Structure 1
Amino acid sequence: MDVLPGGTATFLLLFGAFLGAFAVRSGVRLFRVLRLVRHGERVEGRCSDRRVVDRGSGAENRYRTEYVFAFRTPDGREVEFTDHAPGPFGFEVGAPVRISFDPAAPERRATVAGPGAWGPVLMPTVFAVVLGLFSLGLLFASAAMRGWV
């Protein structure tokens, strides 16, 4: 008895589309970070906090370290934001960092990506490539099972 109409081919198609959506999401994140690194305004900031976030008892990796960065815009506003894993060793609280941000929305679009902190570029790249390849493989397998290729 098949749970889905079309059986395994439909499952592969749906799972491939699901992984593809995450690959596209990671690709969009990568594009935004690279755009900030290339065209954003740069200021000196600091790591203002490093905290451990409890993701709940059902999570595989229950605790995650989150880094909060702060900087002052040229017009004097103090902005704090969190960014993806800054690198393999992280930052100490108070450590100076180079921040790239969008002057139109510094609260929403800022990153520490750049020399010494390539984690915000590396992680979306890995996710986009790996999930994209898995997605393409699953979609190809689904098409092959239906006799389309």
Structure 2
Amino acid sequence: MAIDRSWRRISWLILGIGGLILAGGLALGWGSLRHVLYAERAEGEVIEIRREGDMYAPVLRFRLASGETEEVKDLGSGAPDFAVGDRVTVLYMPSDPEDFRIDTFDRLWFSAIFVTGFAGFWLLFGVVAWALSSNVDLFIIGERAFALIAGAALAIGTAALWNAVGLYSSGTRTEGTVLEVRETRRTEQEEVTRPDGSEYRRNVERVSYAPVVRFTTGDGREIEFHGRSGSDRGFTQGDRVTVVYDPANPIRASIVSFLDLWLPTAVAFGVAVLFGGSVWLSRWSRRRAS
């Protein structure tokens, strides 16, 4: 019973953390929904992409219902998701035009979905801990948790494949230039085993590289975007690369390579096969044992 009580306390802690994260995700979602339901709509234009350290923030200009012109800066992102000259729909609150949202799926809902999904993993682990405290069969718990992860990976892989195939088959190809290769450094801890068998932790610096590419669209617009980052410096400044982009939304662009176009799909389907296969193997083993 002591073990059960320990798992019960752990489950409450994990579920509590997951609940707080979920509340944050719902709050983000409500903030966007409030703009969709109650805000005024205006057609705006991206007049500048402002570089703030490693972030890219779009600056917008739009006209209020009163006829006045308003300029605002949206939140920055690690890679530019707009280009100068893009036409966008702005949702702003009449009482405070600086309280606004850009009417795109990513700007309205991505943060809320990401935080809510992160909360879902905490809640999943909390449910697993609760099941352990209730003496549920560990194999059944693992199968259900792995099946959920496999289903989520399959959905993500399908969406990534749909996006990649659509861009590859319907996009316009052109030649781009690598302007720079951005380095991102982070420090991680890893365990190292000494010759005598003892272990210790040490800090290891990891470096990833992402090419910044510029190309010119058919109507003469210059677009900059980031290629997929990796642990190897695959490009150097000045390299010429083949780019495929969406003519209706040129910032939706990619270097024509496996890493940039197909790797996310391959990783997601690989995770789905790994976890789904584990579920199948576990059930097959239990059936044979019975």
Band of TM-score, shorter chain = 0.7 to 0.9
**Residue of structure 1 in register with 2:36 after alignment:** none
1:4–1:10 contact (8 Å) kept in structure 2: no
Shift of 1:7: 4.2
When Rg is computed on C-alpha atoms for both structures, the one with the higher figure is 2
Larger CA deviation: 64-73 vs 19-28: 19-28
For the aligned residues, what is the CA RMSD? 3.0
1:23–1:127 contact (8 Å) kept in structure 2: no
2:237 pairs, out of 82, 85, 93, with 93
Give the counterpart letter for 2:155 in structure 1. Answer: V
1:127 aligns with 2:285: no
Q: What do the CA deviations read for 1:81-101 (whole angstroms, capped 9, x no partner)? A: 112258x76222111111111
**Residue of structure 1 in register with 2:218 after alignment:** 74
2:255–2:261 contact (8 Å) kept in structure 1: no
1:15 aligns with 2:146: yes
Q: What do the CA deviations read for 1:77-135 (whole angstroms, capped 9, x no partner)? A: 2111112258x76222111111111112111x11112xxx3222442343133212112
After superposition, the Cα gap between the structure-2 partners of 1:30 and 1:61, relative to the gap in structure 1 and judged at 3 Å, is farther
Q: Which ranges in structure 1 are unaligned for 5 or more consecutive residues?
A: none
Shift of 1:16: 3.4
Number of residue pairs matched? 142
2:173 pairs, out of 30, 38, 42, with 42
The structure whose residues are more often helix, as a share, is 2
Q: Which ranges in structure 2 are unaligned for 5 or more consecutive residues?
A: 8-128, 191-203
1:47–1:95 contact (8 Å) kept in structure 2: yes
Percent identical across equivalent pairs? Answer: 26
Distance in 1, matches of 2:211 and 2:280, equals: 39
Shift of 1:146: 8.3
Give the counterpart letter for 2:254 in structure 1. Answer: T
1:20–1:135 contact (8 Å) kept in structure 2: no
Give the counterpart letter for 1:137 in structure 2. Answer: G
| SS, match of residue 249 in structure 2 | coil
Distance in 1, matches of 2:269 and 2:152, equals: 12
